[in-house]
Structure 1
């Protein structure tokens, strides 16, 4: 049986205080609290800027032993460089502390901008640079450039573990059979993204696990998931878990639905597994 991980995209949302986060809970304990209720969380700060090894180590230490993080790849790679000539930026990303998560490192998410269309050559070159084990990631990290130095660098791993990658594309051009076959050939999971119809919603198995991002089924980032929708997702997860791991993250955070929907889905999946 595969393992199902359900959680949220990020955890620092002021509007959740006094709702999901109990009144009086200090901000520095929000990750500890969220990780006690959920089984995985996406680290989103890594998308906006390189984080510090000390931050990754702190997040590792504040969460339960069996917890797993997904880490969002940097927008410098995906949005500014647009996947081209990214060996040094990739080295910097993995040197910035990702490996300090140790056994809590889950999939690495690469989210592409809508304007970035499929190019077989660009995708192939990018995919070939991605490390597939933590030893490969550490070797890549040691090739970081002078943007990082001293305590900003963590280029070690305590063990050799697989490193999984997932791609969330927003251009319909990636939904072609050629692109999907190429992603499968490189063992990169296609993110099944529910975006209220804004971007492609592609349910295709291209790796040994499934990755889902739920941004809202009626209103992007804002609407909650009703009982019928959660029942359907629970059934889908149960079918996948017969043979695959699955990671599901709620990103409908604007009105605070994300953590509650995640807990409701966890309850359904647990109930269906009993």
Structure 2
């Protein structure tokens, strides 16, 4: 089956009536999509009670993809919160337990930064991470081109299969070594993850710019581009029982609309978004025609 969702649920205005409270958004989100990527876990390991509440607020067939904490993927800058690597992994694993217990945990996503290139030390790090996360499905996403170039593509995919990593297949701007090509190959027979980052080449490497978060994922896919991906999804579905497609192109609020477009192309039933047209103001008193 192909499952479609978005990164996070708080910032997708298309989904919610005006003045919807933040605490109500996940429950409403579950009416439109069957899966979601939790990105708040990247910034801080989430408390168990919060994860349990999210699991309780979603339908029985709903699923979560939880992004690994930034200290686990080399993104952390500044003073570490945890006193040791073991404590960090222990806390992250424990945070996932409430979602796993109710069968809604699909994968932990380890997305590595653009400077995490293909070398022996990094390969060994991935081996160690997989051991630390034993028993939990884990998806792996690269951001450096070296994992797929100069004959390394098949070796990388073989390594993912050997180590039990789920391949995170990406659509993203082709902007040099800090981006990866579309590689529609599964490494796990049960699941493949697909993440749609948009194709905003000029905004892709703007980390550190004042408004980079507002521009990096500023992109709306057109129908032809989604039709191309329909073919890739069908190809991946032949390799994996389940394919989870996450739209991350939300700098301009485009992710929800693109996700619904893809659902229509795949003949997946959709729930129409709420009407967000502002109420027309009542006519004021008639103005005298003085001139």
Query: Normalising by the residue count of structure 2, what TM-score does the alignment of the two structures yield?
Result: 0.74
Q: Corresponding residue for 2:70?
A: 75
The one-character-per-residue Cα deviations of 1:64-110 (angstroms, maximum 9, x if unpaired) are: 1110010001111112589xx84432111111x21101211111100
The one-character-per-residue Cα deviations of 1:159-208 (angstroms, maximum 9, x if unpaired) are: xxxx3211111122222243332112112122111112131024132222
- 1:30-179 matched pairs, under 5 angstroms: 30-79=25-74, 86-95=85-94, 97-101=95-99, 102-118=102-118, 119-132=122-135, 163-175=136-148, 176=152, 177-179=154-156
Q: Could you list the runs of 5+ residues in structure 1 that have no partner in the other structure?
A: 133-162
Q: Corresponding residue for 1:200?
A: 180
Seen in structure 2, the aligned counterparts of structure 1 residues 215 and 115 have a Cα distance that, compared at 3 Å, is same
CA-atom RMSD, angstroms? 2.2
Deviation at 1:232, TM superposition (A): 2.1
Q: Could you list the runs of 5+ residues in structure 2 that have no partner in the other structure?
A: 78-83, 202-215, 270-291
Assess if the C-alpha contact under 8 Å between 2:75 and 2:113 holds in 1.
no
Seen in structure 2, the aligned counterparts of structure 1 residues 233 and 80 have a Cα distance that, compared at 3 Å, is closer
Seen in structure 2, the aligned counterparts of structure 1 residues 214 and 168 have a Cα distance that, compared at 3 Å, is same
d(CA) in 2 for partners of 1:99, 1:123 = 22
Larger Rg: 2
Count residues in correspondence: 234
Assess if the C-alpha contact under 8 Å between 2:200 and 2:217 holds in 1.
no
Seen in structure 2, the aligned counterparts of structure 1 residues 63 and 212 have a Cα distance that, compared at 3 Å, is same
Runs of 4+ more than 4 Å apart? none
Assess if the C-alpha contact under 8 Å between 1:193 and 1:201 holds in 2.
yes
Q: Corresponding residue for 2:229?
A: 233
- From the two aligned structures, give the one with the greater helix fraction: 1
Match of 1:212 among 194, 204, 207: 194
d(CA) in 1 for partners of 2:17, 2:111 = 32
Assess if the C-alpha contact under 8 Å between 2:186 and 2:239 holds in 1.
no
d(CA) in 2 for partners of 1:67, 1:268 = 21
